[in-house]
């Protein structure tokens, strides 16, 4: 190579390096600029929700004016009407109802439960029917109690040890689980499938320890599922205080009996609705981001944490976009799902209609873990898409939202996974959630306004990032 060619070659290499450096600098500057802009938007969102937010007032109305909203009830119908009107007042581009048939189970008269012992006499205990249970005969049911910790014990005792008796499921939450949802998951099978498994061996009824990690005198209800190939027996939950008492008595004497009386029944299905409101995307309107919580609740209380909180937080997302004049590039769709608690038919109907319409659902966020302080988001979906969401994590840090390692989303949106959507669940601090979950204590006074609003702000921030950058 000649000297002239050599210098020409070196000059060309240097020019390329300079060009690449300039390009990288431009890209880096653009990235920093975008991040700075996103940080500014995040701050505006937080300020708007914390200063002008409406979700706390909406939850007050939903809890104290409407109350418990069990599917098929008049209160559930009022909640549909109320949240549909809120969609209009917020200024949703489109608001509509999605019809779905829902179960209509009613509790009836207040349940009666008592322990019958030889040494202590009769002791009244607090119980509640499990959702979906059949009633006892009018005079109630009385039977000797057999305590069970796990389903293997049923097999060991068999029909000889269980026929004509009442099975008492007493497996407690695992207190070593820091995430109380894990503890719930380790115990809830007793409530869900315990009645039919006991009936298989001739049991005439079941009692289950309430699904909570505190010891108090509030029974917690929840749905159970009968196996239609086996006899149906009445099933109730007993408060943890009552469960401790019963377990202690069984250790001290044999032949302890339980008497309970319930008048619950399942009526014909009712027509109900998901409530839907949208802000149409400006650049990719066909790409849809679903944000939601479930509107129904159990009937023992006001359903403020489960899941009035998630419903109003989702509405706050819509209101905040409108209030700040944020025009999302992709469509934001807020859904008040119906019937999560005892059937999941609202979520199923939403997924069914989305599939029929060939809708392009890119992401879904559900809030159904209470109104506590938000700590992060759980995610279900493809690794590359989850990695993209995690790359936004540092934007959330100033707001105390740091954990993007969870792998749970939500019961109402889980059927969207096979439609390609990345699913996300808001994850608040769970330590107090099961104190009130499905119990008479799930009331508005257990909600902290600021924690509720921070959750709504976090959901709005995530909706903004998804609408700006897609997946």
Catalytic residues: 340
Q: Which of 93, 86, 240, 254 is nearest to 165 (CA)?
A: 254
For residues 366 and 409, the answer to whether their CB atoms sit within 8 Å is yes
Q: Which residue has the tokens 């309430």?
A: 210
Which tokens belong to 383?
A: 């690794």
Cα 273 from Cα 80, distance rounded (Å): 7
Peptide bond into 443 cis (omega under 30): no
**Torsion sign (Cα): 50, 53, 58, 64:** positive
Q: Which of 412, 414, 420 is nearest to 362 (CA)?
A: 420
Q: Which residues pair with 129 in a beta bridge?
A: 236
Cα 292 from Cα 295, distance rounded (Å): 9
Cα 144 from Cα 246, distance rounded (Å): 12
**Exposure on the CB side of residue 196, measured as CA atoms within 13 A:** 11
Q: Which of 366, 330, 145 is nearest to 253 (CA)?
A: 145
Angle between helices 309-324 and 74-90 (to 10 degrees): 10
Q: Which residue has the tokens 């060939």?
A: 358
Residue 345 neighbours by CB under 8 Å, 6+ apart = 71, 100, 101, 102, 103, 338, 339
């Amino acid at each position: 190579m000649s000297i002239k060619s050599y210098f020409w070659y070196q000059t060309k290499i240097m020019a390329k390096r300079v060009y690449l450096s300039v390009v990288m600098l431009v890209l880096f500057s653009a990235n920093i600029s975008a991040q700075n802009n996103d940080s500014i938007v995040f701050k505006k969102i937080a300020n708007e929700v914390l200063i002008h937010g409406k979700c706390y007032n909406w939850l007050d109305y939903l809890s104290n004016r409407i109350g418990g909203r069990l599917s098929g009830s008049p209160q559930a119908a009022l909640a549909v009407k109320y949240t549909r009107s809120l969609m209009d007042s917020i200024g949703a581009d489109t608001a509509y109802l999605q019809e779905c048939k829902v179960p209509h189970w009613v509790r009836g008269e207040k349940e009666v439960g008592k322990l019958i012992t030889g040494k202590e006499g009769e002791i009244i205990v607090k119980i509640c029917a499990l959702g979906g249970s059949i009633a006892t005969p009018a005079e109630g049911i009385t039977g000797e109690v057999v305590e069970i910790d796990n389903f293997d014990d049923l097999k060991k005792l068999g029909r000889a040890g269980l026929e004509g008796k009442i099975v008492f499921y007493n497996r407690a939450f695992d207190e070593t689980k820091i995430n109380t949802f894990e503890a719930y998951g380790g115990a809830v099978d007793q409530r869900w499938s315990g009645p039919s498994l006991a009936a298989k061996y001739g049991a005439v009824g079941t009692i289950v320890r309430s699904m909570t990690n505190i010891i108090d005198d509030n029974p917690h209800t929840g749905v159970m599922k009968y196996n239609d190939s086996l006899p149906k027996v009445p099933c109730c939950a007993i408060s943890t205080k009552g469960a401790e008492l019963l377990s202690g008595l069984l250790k001290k004497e044999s032949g302890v009996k339980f008497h309970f009386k319930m008048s619950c029944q399942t009526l014909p299905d009712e027509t109900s609705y998901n409530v839907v409101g949208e802000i149409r995307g400006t650049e990719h309107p066909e790409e849809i981001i679903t944000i939601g919580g479930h509107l129904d609740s159990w009937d023992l209380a006001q359903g403020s944490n489960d899941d009035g909180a998630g419903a109003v937080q989702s509405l706050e997302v819509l209101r905040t976009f409108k209030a700040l004049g944020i025009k999302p590039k992709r469509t934001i769709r807020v859904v008040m799902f119906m019937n999560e608690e005892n059937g999941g038919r609202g979520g199923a109907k939403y997924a069914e209609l989305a599939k029929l319409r060939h809708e392009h659902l890119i992401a879904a966020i559900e809030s159904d873990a209470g109104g506590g302080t938000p700590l992060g988001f759980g995610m279900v979906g493809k690794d590359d898409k989850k990695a993209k969401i995690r790359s936004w994590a540092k934007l959330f840090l100033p707001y105390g939202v740091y954990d993007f390692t969870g792998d749970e989303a939500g019961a109402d949106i889980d059927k969207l996974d096979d439609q390609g959507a990345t699913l996300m669940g808001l994850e608040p601090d769970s330590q107090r959630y099961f104190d009130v979950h499905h119990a008479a204590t799930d009331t508005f006074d257990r909600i902290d306004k600021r924690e509720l609003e921070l959750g709504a702000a976090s959901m709005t921030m995530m909706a903004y990032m998804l609408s700006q950058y897609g997946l």
